[in-house]
Amino acid sequence: MSSKDSTVSFPELIKLKRDGGQLNRAEISTFVQGVTSGAIQKCQIGAMLMAIWQKGMTNEETLAMTREMMNSGETFQWPKEWLVVDKHSTGGVGDKVSLPLAPALAACGCKIPMISGRGLAHTGGTLDKLESIPGFKVNQSVEQVKQILEDVGCCIVGQTERLVPADRVLYAIRDATSTVDSLPLIISSIISKKGAEGLSALVLDVKFGRAALYKDLNSARRLAQSLVTAGNNLGVKTGAVLSRMDTPIGQSVGNTVEVCEALECLKGRGSDDLKELVTNLGGYLLWMCGHSGTPESGKTKIAVKLENGEALKKFEAMLMAQGVSADVAHSLCLNETDYFEHMKRAAHQTELKVLDDGAVLDIGGLALAEVLHKLGAGRAKSGEEIDHSVGAEILVEMGQQVQKGQSWIRIHHNCPNLNPHYSDLQKALVIGSHDKYETVSRMAEFIYPDNPNMS
């Protein structure tokens, strides 16, 4: 089958890439248009994706692919005076950063059209967390998103039908053809969606470690540098933070329990660990979009909004704008409240005990997430239902001196007992001599070009 815009057939394009050739922009456009329109068969799409996975793409090809995917559907257009920013995370355990970050940025005067995803495998999804709140609607039209940004300043929504339709097709086939980990396909998927949001600035939280997609710093750095280059070449000021993902972020893992912890952060409380990520990512964004003179001053502005209640007010307004009743939104945002009065509590809460005296040297995020996944907190494939009430509250902190018999974790579960999972849960906690404990910041590096290309 031939495209009307090119004399090159789809099989010829596949053969060209399979044999290590470089696709020009017109050929990439032909492929993406064929994907979007349905003119190219799924088996041909799979063949092209495998050819890209095997042979890779040059920077020029990756940029062309990203640009064509971005333009495959509708793109957001905003008033010129708006500072529109967003954050993207490569996924982790206990990553509820978006929930306090979006309203904190809105309280600073930015607009945040945060298009988020659902959890898959051991990583949690922002949309799943927010759906723990009764009435919260993640599906909003383009017109509704614009109105919420006008009225509130931030929203957290799912991908709209008209935004980057090519990515929706390609992502499903990447999953089915084991080509998810192709660097050019990762870059074009992430950056095309963010480019379509019409952003002034984008910060990427690229995670590395035992509970991350990339286990070591060097491989995460390569991804971060490629994403930053693609974003800036597309006209979006893009920077990336490299952050460690070994232990869970904050003190909770799950859906409902993470919403509770995010609300605590918005009330100026909660773990320093979560606050560190929120203020750093927000600070970099405020600096990148020109809203603060330095990253440090931007970080201070975010911290102030968390402390003085302004970010909390934005979150309450966002909840109501996205379908939560005024009574529920107000009650959740009260300084002292019972979160489980409105969000579902699991049938059982079981506390596990420390087995030896010593210091907390490690809390294995991956091991913990995998058990919670088996208990119903996650999904094995897209579209599966999850149990929002399943989760864990971590009752100790890294480096803390603990005693045998002390409770270290509270598991929220709906199964009769935890016996089949007891051993795996206890292995997640490592106790040892305090002199072996080393304090390490989650923030490893920040990558940003000296002169971002805004062409």
The residues that are catalytic are 88, 167, 174, 189, 193
User: Rounded CA gap, 216 and 9, in Å?
Assistant: 41
Gyration radius of the chain over CA positions: 22
Quick one: which of 391, 326, 392 has its CA closest to 134?
326
Give SS3 for 375: helix
> How many CB atoms lie under 10 A from the CB of residue 218?
8
Quick one: which of 212, 209, 174 has its CA closest to 190?
174
Q: Are 48 and 27 in contact (CB under 8 A)?
A: no
User: Rounded CA gap, 286 and 299, in Å?
Assistant: 8
- Listing DSSP states for 176-212 in one string gives HTT-TT-HHHHHHHHHHHHHHTT-SEEEEEEEESTTS
* E strand or H helix that includes residue 431: strand 429-432
Q: Are 222 and 208 in contact (CB under 8 A)?
A: no
Q: How far apart are the first and last CA of the chain?
A: 35
User: Rounded CA gap, 86 and 178, in Å?
Assistant: 29
Phi, psi dihedral angles at 21 (to 5 degrees): -80, 170
